[in-house]
Amino acid sequence: MSVEFPSNWPRDLKVQLCHDWLSGMRGGERVLEILCQGFPEAPIYTLLSNPDAISETIKSHPIHTSWLQNLPGINQHYRSYLPLFPAAINSLTPAPADILISTSHCVAKSLRPHPGALHISYCFTPMRYAWLFYEEYFGSNPAKALIIKPILAALRRWDRATSDRVDRFVAISQHVRQRIRHCYDRDADVVYPPVNTHMWTPDPSGAKGEFDLIVSALVPYKRIDLAVTAYNRSGYPLTIVGVGGQLASLRQMAGDNITFLERQSDDDILELYRRSRLLVFPGEEDFGIVPVEAQSCGTPVVAYRKGGATETVVEDQTGVFFDAQTPEALQEAVEQCGQREWDATTLHSHAERFGVANFIQGMADVIQKVTVG
């Protein structure tokens, strides 16, 4: 995706980038990719990198990895090395620069910049593994908890202490801004992540199919089980796109009206977004790219009224909220949404608030504030 940068983009500054790890192309890597285009000569500091799993744009930059890169099986099992992450990020020594920009949900924000460099951290969330979703990552085994929980307590202390290495936090949402205040006692600017609204567009024909859609990783905190239970009761067709540890159990509990598609290409997901009656978003997210993509394609959203969805979905204009994570509340919201007429142009126009150009301008403004004062 080729993008344009505004007149106040800091082209003359010497910039370095830091990302937690480079093991795939998810939302965080899409943010990094845009920053790579804006700073084509910037080196990238990261814990580890899998060249086969990242874009050509990112690979074109000098990539400096930690000693974790040399450990056996690191690309497949990096989460198992979580207790080593602080030592690994501390082992990286950035060269002189004007600005270090970290894109972080784990330890990238803890990289110590070269003396004299300013550190701006684009924060997806404070260290997810230490502060949130313990059982999602480590399970509920009591014996494992006896070992892991003291380690996580130490990680939280370290994570909070190293927040002092950041000169300016930028949160992906107001929801994450509040979490930064809670975890680090620091304020943050808010710049929403970029969504490619030029790619995610409504079907010109306006045609809709008779099915609802979920696009999600199949892990516990996403609450896909809630949707499966609700649709088992209603019998209305539901298509679920995604993979994850809950795939087998969700298949087992799902009725014949629920279809699982696992991994799909962007082109296939575009068609599903366009043709679906509505998108279901039953979990609490820091931001949530998927609801914005669906709205950009002219599809309304049924979302749990908590977290980032409250900032991306406008009730009665682009979707419907439900207040309790129960099958009954979700089913009622789905019925309300399905009975209404929705305007695809309005939905797409709202999604453009989260477009790539707005992200770039927001980051340019933050950098200007930090460097000029």
pLDDT exceeds cutoff 60 at 193: yes
Domains and CATH numbers, the chain: 15-190 (3.40.50), 212-353 (3.40.50.2000)
Q: What is the mean predicted confidence (pLDDT) over 330-336?
A: 98
Q: Render pLDDT for 224-277 as a digit per residue (tens, 0 to 9).
A: 999 999 999 999 999 999 998 899 999 999 999 999 998 899 999 999 999 999
- pLDDT value for 75: 81
Residue with tokens 């809709």: 208
What's the mean per-residue pLDDT of the chain? 93
Which of 1-15, 68-82, 140-154 is the least confident region?
Answer: 140-154
- Percent share of the chain, pLDDT over 70: 95
- As a whole number, mean pLDDT of residues 352-359 equals 97
Of 125-139, 213-227, 247-261, give the lowest mean pLDDT range.
125-139
**CB neighbours of 146 closer than 8 A, spacing ≥ 6?**
none
Is the separation of the CB atoms in 174 and 311 below 8 Å? yes
Q: Please give the pLDDT value at position 289.
A: 95
Q: What is the pLDDT of residues 5-39, one digit of tens each?
A: 999 999 999 999 999 999 888 889 999 999 999 99
pLDDT band at 73 (very low <50, low <70, confident <90, very high): confident
Give residue 221's pLDDT.
86
Cα distance between residue 184 and residue 160, in whole Å: 5
Nearest alpha-carbon partner for 17 in 5, 27, 29: 29
Residue 143: what pLDDT?
A: 59
Q: What CA–CA distance (Å, rounded) separates 361 from 355?
A: 10
Give the pair of three-digit tokens for residue 89: 């990020």
User: What span, in angstroms and rounded, lies between the C-alpha atoms of 195 and 352?
Assistant: 8
Instruction: Note the pTM of the prediction, 2 decimals.
Output: 0.90
- Distance of alpha carbon 130 from alpha carbon 135, whole angstroms: 11
Comparing CA positions, the residue from 138, 20, 38 lying closest to residue 85 is 20
Distance (Å, whole) CA 113 – CA 100: 6
Among 257, 248, 260, smallest CA distance to 229 is for: 257
**pLDDT tier, 45 (very low <50, low <70, confident <90, very high otherwise):** very high
